[in-house]
Amino acid sequence: MAIIPLHASGFGAHRTASTSFQAYMRCNGEGLARDGIGFWGPLRTRGGVLSGVIPILSPVPPKRQLMRARGRILTQLADAQARGFSQLIISDENIIGAPRQNLRAKALYGGIGERLARFHHAFDGRITRVVLSIRSLDNLWASTLAYGVKRGHSMPSQDLLEKIAVGPRTWRDVITDVACAMPDVQIQVMPFETYAGQPEAKLRLMIGGAAKVPLKHHRKWLNRGPDQSQLHEILADRGTSAVDLAQADLAGEGRWQPFNRAQIAQMRENYQDDLHWLRAGADGLALLTEETGLHETRNNLAGGQTIKGQNDDRDEKGRVA
């Protein structure tokens, strides 16, 4: 999720309840608009407004595609500002990459730096905050793989699972890449484990308490990955043999976890290392929000100091994030 001056924030990450947040924002759109808060979700961002920021195969050269996208985006931002919006929240997890790219690379969002540098340019530096949801790596990858099977992919091989589990790239690398691509943008990190079912809490922190957040349509949990019984049914409907179904080990109920104990332990240790790094200040790159509040650690906001608690959400020009 990214915030914009108008001001913009948002982006997200796959399999971290981003679809539920987007539904909450759409359902409460009219009330939020009256408070000057606009929303661009996938229905808009994938409908053409961001087309060309990431180049596609076309007779139009990539540089020209980016120029056209920039002009289109700035026109849309001017229109939103003219309509009275002071903040714009953009939530589209595909901005930072795609799950299939993660699976192909067996790593988290390897191209995020280059992608966000292009978006930073296309928005003319008007993105003031990036909000990134993160999740324990074992559950994130398990949910990604389950959703992939639901969409037609085959069950993961043991070789794929092992390469994912021992891969060195973690959320720390992702956050560092974001900071390099958007050096003047505040990065706010929200753990899935805290905020998955609380879109209103996410919104409250994103807008800095500038308006009362709505409490309608805030307990919908959409686009969950299929559980074991659902995966078993999906594979059976595809004509998977009884032998292959047995090898898939989908007996029982509850969340599917394809990784073994050693792999889970390794990924959980990596995630705890990421959280420790964030709690310790994240090298001044990010803000970690947990139950205990907002830990502000970005050097250019706090003069190198670590500050616990809300900042006033204004930059040196008085713009609201």
Residue 308 has what pLDDT? 33
Residue 215 has what pLDDT? 77
When pLDDT is averaged across residues 185-211 and rounded to a whole number, the result is 84
The model carries a pTM of: 0.84
Confidence check: pLDDT of 128 > 50: yes
The reply to whether 317 falls in a domain is no
Residue 240 has what pLDDT? 80
The reply to whether 244 falls in a domain is no
pLDDT (tens digit per residue) in 23-58: 999 999 999 999 899 999 998 998 889 999 999 888
DSSP string, 166-193: H----HHHHHHHHHHHSTTSEEEEEEHH
Position with higher pLDDT, 100 vs 219: 100
Q: Most confidently modeled of 77-91, 198-212, 230-244?
A: 77-91
Contact between 103 and 170 (Cβ < 8 Å): no
Confidence check: pLDDT of 201 > 90: no
Of 157, 11, 208, 2, give the one whose Cα is nearest residue 92. Answer: 11
How far is residue 150's CA from residue 247's CA, in Å, rounded to a whole number?
A: 18
The reply to whether 174 falls in a domain is yes
Q: Count other C-beta atoms under 10 Å from residue 206's C-beta.
A: 27
How far is residue 147's CA from residue 134's CA, in Å, rounded to a whole number?
A: 17
Q: Among 18-22, 47-51, 241-245, whose mean pLDDT is lowest?
A: 241-245
The reply to whether 254 falls in a domain is no
The reply to whether 266 falls in a domain is no
CA dihedral 11, 12, 15, 16 (to 10 degrees): -150
Position with higher pLDDT, 319 vs 119: 119
How far is residue 137's CA from residue 158's CA, in Å, rounded to a whole number?
A: 17
- Kindly calculate the radius of gyration of the chain based on its CA atoms and give it in whole angstroms: 20
Residue 313 has what pLDDT? 32
* Cα diameter, the chain: 65
Residue 263 has what pLDDT? 98
Confidence check: pLDDT of 106 > 80: yes
What is the token pair recorded at 201? 């809490």
Half-sphere exposure of 230 (CA within 13 A, CB side): 14
The reply to whether 152 falls in a domain is no
What total of structural domains would you count in the chain?
Answer: 1
When pLDDT is averaged across residues 248-260 and rounded to a whole number, the result is 84
How far is residue 296's CA from residue 309's CA, in Å, rounded to a whole number?
A: 7
Contact between 128 and 5 (Cβ < 8 Å): yes
Residue 146 has what pLDDT? 93
When pLDDT is averaged across residues 239-246 and rounded to a whole number, the result is 74
Residue 219 has what pLDDT? 57
Residue 13 has what pLDDT? 84
Range of the domain at 78: 2-137+169-223+271-308
pLDDT (tens digit per residue) in 137-192: 999 999 999 989 988 888 999 999 999 999 999 999 999 999 999 998 999 999 99
Mean pLDDT (the chain) is 83
How far is residue 20's CA from residue 108's CA, in Å, rounded to a whole number?
A: 22
Note the Cα 293 to chain centre separation in Å: 20
pLDDT bin (cut points 50, 70, 90) of residue 239 is confident
Q: Count other C-beta atoms under 10 Å from residue 28's C-beta.
A: 21
The reply to whether 260 falls in a domain is no
Confidence check: pLDDT of 102 > 50: yes
The reply to whether 253 falls in a domain is no
Position with higher pLDDT, 271 vs 241: 271
- Collapsing DSSP states into helix, strand and coil, what is residue 9? strand
When pLDDT is averaged across residues 122-146 and rounded to a whole number, the result is 93
Strand pairing category for 37-40 and 2-3 = unpaired
pLDDT bin (cut points 50, 70, 90) of residue 234 is confident
Q: Among 32-36, 57-61, 236-240, whose mean pLDDT is lowest?
A: 236-240
- Cα distances from 229 to residues 72, 91, 219, in angstroms, run 46, 31, 24
User: What CATH number did the domain enclosing 219 receive?
Assistant: 3.40.50
What is the token pair recorded at 17? 């309840």
